[in-house]
Structure 1
Amino acid sequence: MADAAARLTKLAEEVLGAGLPVRIRAWDRSESGPPGAPTLVFRNRRALRRLLFKPGELGLARAWVAGDIDIDGDLYEALDLLAGLIWERPAAPGRPRPAAVLRSLARPEIRAAAKELLLLAGTPVPPAPPAEEARKRRGPLHTLLRDKDAISHHYDVGNDFYELVLGPSMVYSCAYWESPDATLEDAQRDKLDLICRKLGLEEGQRLLDVGCGWGSMVLHAAREYGVRAVGITLSEEQAAYARKRIADAGLADRVEIRVQDYREIKDEGFDAISSIGMAEHVGQDRYAEYASALYALLRPGGRLLNHQIARRPLPDEEAYRVDEFIDRYVFPDGELAPVGRTTGALEDAGFEVRDVEVIREHYALTLRRWVANLEKHWDRAARLTSPGRARVWRLYMAASALSFERNRIGVNQVLAVRTPDSGASGMPLRARAWQG
């Protein structure tokens, strides 16, 4: 099995129909590929078995999480090069897209390559998935119980771990940057304050924060704007952490944290609702229900700020497929919709959409800071969760940063009003007066 790297390079180029832009280092310490390029490291033959038995994104994800493959060199550069080759490069005339080839190694034209890979793999026994993979879900999407289980998979992995990644703000959504040189804490504070200003918060008003996380939004709104706030989350760990923060800040008489689904809220007459990075969990089939539920919870004249990741629209929307790595390891059952579909659903529910602000580049900056935090505290992060879980977050955040930079996904703040029958929306005459 000498010079396994050269054999892997040759097979990969046959399968993909293109040269590899990265080096390969195999378990026998052999190397092949462009000098000076980032190196894709195959630590063992088990990595090949994962690719053979689950070709495509899921096999690659399992090999990465298990530590069977790794990147030596700049992670962003490596992902950028590999994304352009595997996921984004247009197919040659008469040849399927490379990703489709990877998902069908049994195709006759590459069967010889598959046999060679099997010989290199050493055994036909498929490896078990890493422990960090979400268990197989059954039944209808986005029931109350299934959504709670999905949220727990992502968020109940230890508050100490999230403190390392997110920093003192404990805000797990796109920050709002004055400049790339600003601190993460300042950018997150500016994001929370921007949302408060867009909502027009005033002392004595009632705010509902849907998907409140670790309580940062309700804390900021109560402390800086004097509102009374309710925050809801499906994560028991987040709720416990948020309640302690609120008590330590002396705000327990003004802020309530509940473990509750948005479909279970019976309160009415809120003056404002913030939903920051939560709607991605709702699901496309439930979005009309989500919009209608929030509309019913607001008083006439009340405002909604919906901060949500969006994907680019597809020529054939029926072809939309959730990324397998994200679904199995990051956000089970999460779905992204184009911003037009989001605003349409809000309008169908009765809202008047008053402002849409695109902050796509801001999320790329945010993610790169989170990755830097994780890498700085790598050993402790791996101990607090598991090495595999830390690898999941590093890959997911770095790849997501590139996706925002490439305009493959975006993030938008949509401000909407439950405008009363009189038509008096209460909005300022000049658009975006909240910017000062």
Structure 2
Amino acid sequence: MADAALRLTALAEDLLGEALPVRIRAWDGSEAGPPGAPVLVVRHRRALRRLLWKPGELGLARAWVAGELDIEGDLYGALDLLAGLIWERGDSTDSVHPVRDPRMRAAAKALVRLGGALPPPAPPAEEMRRPAGRRHTKRRDKDAISHHYDVGNDFYELVLGPSMVYSCAYWESRDSTLEEAQRAKLDLVCRKLGLKEGDRLLDVGCGWGSMAIHAAREYGARVVGITLSREQAAYARKRIAEEGLTDRIEIRVQDYRDVKDGPYDAISSIGMAEHVGSVRYAEYADILYALLTEGGRLLNHQIARRPERDESAYHVDEFIDRYVFPDGELAPVGRTLAILEEAGFEARDVEPIREHYALTLRQWVANLESDWPRALRRTTPGRARIWRLYMAASALSFERNRIGVNQILAVKTPPGGASGMPLRARTWN
């Protein structure tokens, strides 16, 4: 066989009903498609068997993680072109019955001829197996967090840089460095919370301790940081000791549902609420409200999806769910606001910063790609490929307004209405 690329291109175009905008290079060395376009490399025919047994997104994801698919050339350009054909089509092959639909029957036969009719390949080791039972129990949440965060602090150091902040930075300009932008974000959160000397701050989902350190060092706050990741907690404690802040910061491996030592003057939740899940979000909001003192502030920094006309049609991205954030869920910002208000909070400000996340993600991808051999030494090749794909695809999603990110400032306003907020919005102090 020396024409696999041509046959794959014809198959894809017949199935999709339009020309394939990327070039294909197959395992036999053949190439087909528009000259100069990004190249989709099919390194092994095993990728086709994955698509045969799992048509659509999950089959593609497994082939990518296993190294059987790759992209040469402009990664962002290729993903943008492929997104319009695969992930954003109303007639996605994920929803087509492979037996009843004649196109799918023909495609399945062609894949068998090209890829071989062998048993389905085992999923890559990096895939999170779907556990039985209810979502968002304490045990299941802990396993999901461990899957994402306990993959080696040295790998995250390479991707995130010295700040070790794994959430959207706040860019004063496109010429800022990632470190400057992350420091600006941490400072913005502290100012929105109105932190001052001696204030008690709960940092929910404290990561590697960056927010806790900034709040204690720059604002004199006394901080409790909680995480479900033991690797994050160990790293944060080491950093805190090196900063000489052990008398001001306590890091706990603790579920937010088990925090009982309120009240706190302020709560920061930065990139954590996406893990809570829709079935738990009202409970989450109630718990944070109860932990705050009267007049206390909550800063909720959270990714949001666009609302669906029919919310029952919303489905979790299979690649993200199996390989990146198991059990993670995105909600429209309006729904998040409503639940916070139902818990008793007064919403005082919403700042959308989605363009900032696109800039942040592109910098993380650049960090990863700049020393790819070291990345492969610090984690598995499959996990490095996962992070490269999900961060690049996410950058495009923010740029195209498919998803957003918002900082919501909410207050536990006491009876009588004295919120303690400034008269002018966004002066914060």
Q: Distance in 2 between matches of 1:97 and 1:48?
A: 17
Which position in structure 1 is the counterpart of 2:2? 2
Are 1:349 and 2:343 matched, yes or no?
A: yes
Are 1:320 and 2:320 matched, yes or no?
A: no
Instruction: From 115, 118, 121, give the equivalent of 1:124.
Output: 118
Alignment of 1:153-168 (within 5 A): 153-168=147-162
Q: Deviations over 1:73-118 (max 9, x none)?
A: 11100000000122224x5xxxx345535x7476223312220111
Are 1:19 and 2:19 matched, yes or no?
A: yes
Instruction: From 398, 403, 409, give the equivalent of 1:409.
Output: 403
Alpha-carbon shift at residue 123 of structure 1 (Å): 2.9
How many residues align? The count is 429
Q: Distance in 2 between matches of 1:316 and 1:249?
A: 50
Alpha-carbon shift at residue 427 of structure 1 (Å): 0.2
The one-letter amino acid paired with 1:55 is P
Q: Distance in 1 between matches of 2:11 and 2:134?
A: 41
Which position in structure 2 is the counterpart of 1:68? 68
Which position in structure 1 is the counterpart of 2:383? 389
Contact 2:308 2:314 in 1 (8 A): yes
Alpha-carbon shift at residue 2 of structure 1 (Å): 2.4
Which position in structure 1 is the counterpart of 2:59? 59
The one-letter amino acid paired with 1:131 is A
Are 1:419 and 2:385 matched, yes or no?
A: no
Over 6 Å off, 4+ runs:
none
Alpha-carbon shift at residue 319 of structure 1 (Å): 1.2
- Aligned-residue identity in percent: 78
Which position in structure 2 is the counterpart of 1:339? 333
Alpha-carbon shift at residue 318 of structure 1 (Å): 0.8
Q: Distance in 1 between matches of 2:355 and 2:106?
A: 44
The one-letter amino acid paired with 2:219 is Y
The one-letter amino acid paired with 1:367 is L
Which position in structure 2 is the counterpart of 1:180? 174
Query: Which range moved further: 301-310 or 103-112?
Result: 103-112
Q: Distance in 2 between matches of 1:414 and 1:76?
A: 30
Contact 1:86 1:99 in 2 (8 A): no
Q: Distance in 2 between matches of 1:167 and 1:76?
A: 22
Which position in structure 1 is the counterpart of 2:81? 81
Please tell me the root mean square deviation across aligned C-alpha atoms, in Å: 1.2
Contact 2:262 2:292 in 1 (8 A): yes
SS for the counterpart of 2:225 is strand
Which position in structure 1 is the counterpart of 2:35? 35
Contact 2:206 2:226 in 1 (8 A): yes
Alpha-carbon shift at residue 260 of structure 1 (Å): 0.2
Which position in structure 2 is the counterpart of 1:100? 95
Are 1:199 and 2:167 matched, yes or no?
A: no
Q: Distance in 2 between matches of 1:128 and 1:403?
A: 30
SS for the counterpart of 1:342 is helix
The one-letter amino acid paired with 2:81 is L
The one-letter amino acid paired with 2:222 is R
Alignment of 1:195-274 (within 5 A): 195-274=189-268
Contact 1:203 1:226 in 2 (8 A): yes
Which position in structure 1 is the counterpart of 2:144? 150
SS for the counterpart of 2:113 is helix
Q: Distance in 1 between matches of 2:158 and 2:56?
A: 31
SS for the counterpart of 1:24 is strand
| C-alpha distance 153-379 of structure 1, shift in aligned 2 (>3 A) | same
Which position in structure 2 is the counterpart of 1:369? 363
The one-letter amino acid paired with 1:381 is A
The one-letter amino acid paired with 1:61 is A
Contact 2:2 2:29 in 1 (8 A): no
Contact 2:289 2:344 in 1 (8 A): yes
The one-letter amino acid paired with 1:17 is G
Q: Distance in 2 between matches of 1:99 and 1:70?
A: 21
Q: Distance in 2 between matches of 1:48 and 1:332?
A: 25
Contact 1:105 1:114 in 2 (8 A): no
Contact 1:16 1:98 in 2 (8 A): no
SS for the counterpart of 1:284 is coil
The one-letter amino acid paired with 1:233 is T
